[in-house]
Amino acid sequence: MWRWSNIKFFPSENDSDEWKPITGNVWNPELGDVVEGKLINRIESVGKYDQNLYILLDKNDKEIKIWGKTQLDELMSEIEVEDYIRITYNGCKTTNNGHTMKVYYIERRETHGRKD
């Protein structure tokens, strides 16, 4: 007969146990971090704060989600779905009105025969 008492709720703790964060494939960059891949989707007005969500497919066919920020959204307005891009996170800067803004640098891979 099945009983709740037969279930182990907590595995034995061991000094060698490792805890790894679950990020859901969301890019949480630190200064100088770079991500690159093909933009496969752009979803606008997501969630409580109406943010943009960009989804890249990296060279290992892994989806990477990137939440939009003011400056990133402005740069991404020039990027089309299917473009291959590289995004570098350059840290934060203080704006004229005293707010902190994340700063990104975006490059698009140019291919021969591309029509802009």
Q: Where are the beta strands (DSSP E) in 1-116?
A: 34-46, 51-57, 63-67, 84-94, 100-108
- Domain extent listing, the chain: 24-108
Which contiguous run of DSSP H or E holds residue 65? strand 63-67
CATH assignment of 24-108, among 2.40.50.140, 2.30.140.10, 1.10.760.10, 3.40.50.300: 2.40.50.140
pLDDT for residue 19: 85
**111, two tokens:** 């291919």
pLDDT for residue 73: 97
Each residue of 81-100: pLDDT tens digit?
A: 999 999 999 999 999 999 99
Each residue of 35-64: pLDDT tens digit?
A: 999 999 999 999 999 999 999 999 999 999
Each residue of 10-43: pLDDT tens digit?
A: 666 666 678 888 878 999 999 999 999 999 999 9
Query: pTM of the full predicted structure?
Result: 0.77
